[in-house]
Amino acid sequence: MPKPTFRAAPVRVRVPATSANLGPGFDALGLALSLYDDIVVRVTDEPGLTVDVAGMGAASVARNARNLVVRAMYAAFKQLGGRPPGLEVVCANRIPHGRGLGSSAAAIVGGIVAARALVAGGGERLGDDAALALATQLEGHPDNVAACLFGGLTLAWTDDAGGRAVKLPVDASVAPVVFIPGTSSSTRATRRLLPETVPHADAARNAGRAALLVTALGGRTDLLLAASDDRLHQSYRAPAMPRTAALVDELRTAGIPAVVSGAGPTVLALTTVANRDEALALSRRGWSTTALDVDVEGAVQLPLERRGE
């Protein structure tokens, strides 16, 4: 591949939060949400790297080549034919870290899309399928990165080509609510709680409910409570996040389709415009309860704001 030509102008990329699994769709289903991180990147003639981070995770994320956005950019530049001499990276983070809302997926996808935008013809050199495969390689699984890249509801899987996904319809009445606790959790740690095998009946039930959930989110919203029932992972992770498990049970007992968002500890309620207020009324002390929309665009390049705007 010939060496890339880099654009002189900075680029701005916006990436959404995501919720994976959605109950029964373990490691497959993902939903993009209207909570965003912004990344502004500029190629510099002077060699080196500067990273500035504001917002969520600003006190803890790396400000060097170990920064996840930068690592994703470097991986994308490698596939695009070469790295620029220097970079200035500015991250404005709104997605909470370690809460099951796809903050690492947002960093990875944002870095890849930003790197692609900085290269002349980058979209042709690194198309969406290749970008998803690279993001999956960096993240380790495709569910969050697929929803972050494409927006909306995605069904993701892996094969010999890496991560792949299709975008599925979401009814306009779907109105998610997230319950975000003040404490974080580790996806790697909670995954270790999952057993190597599960009962065949539970696996069969989950397969049916995952298929039903696609139909429910696509328009049969009256089926969301039944469709979001999970037997594959949430109960096994419950000992690591008892408050999350208790809130999911409370919401579901009240008839609200609630699930653990990703590996938790955030709780996602798959409500509709007609009944979202019921979920919001069940907010609890110690939880930040927020009504969000389904993001339908995914990762997008935005114009830079002019001074004074």
Mean pLDDT of 110-117: 98
Q: Bridge partners of 166? A: 155
**Tokens representing residue 60 in the block:** 């803890």
CATH number attached to the domain at 11-168+295-302: 3.30.230.10
HSE-CB of 21 using CA atoms within 13 angstroms: 26
Mean pLDDT of 200-204: 95
Mean pLDDT of 145-161: 96
Q: Which of 230, 190, 283, 177 is nearest to 29 (CA)?
A: 230
Interhelix angle 128-139/143-150, rounded to 10 degrees, is 140
Mean pLDDT of the chain, nearest integer: 94
pLDDT in tens, 255-300: 999 999 999 999 999 999 999 999 999 888 889 999 999 999 999 9
Mean pLDDT of 246-253: 96
Mean pLDDT of 119-131: 96
The answer, yes or no, to whether residue 130 has pLDDT greater than 50, is yes
The answer, yes or no, to whether residue 107 has pLDDT greater than 50, is yes
Task: For the chain, give every domain's residue range.
Answer: 11-168+295-302, 177-291
Mean pLDDT of 82-86: 95
* Per-residue confidence (pLDDT) for residue 307, from 0 to 100: 46
Q: Which fold has domain 177-291?
A: Alpha-Beta Plaits (3.30.70)
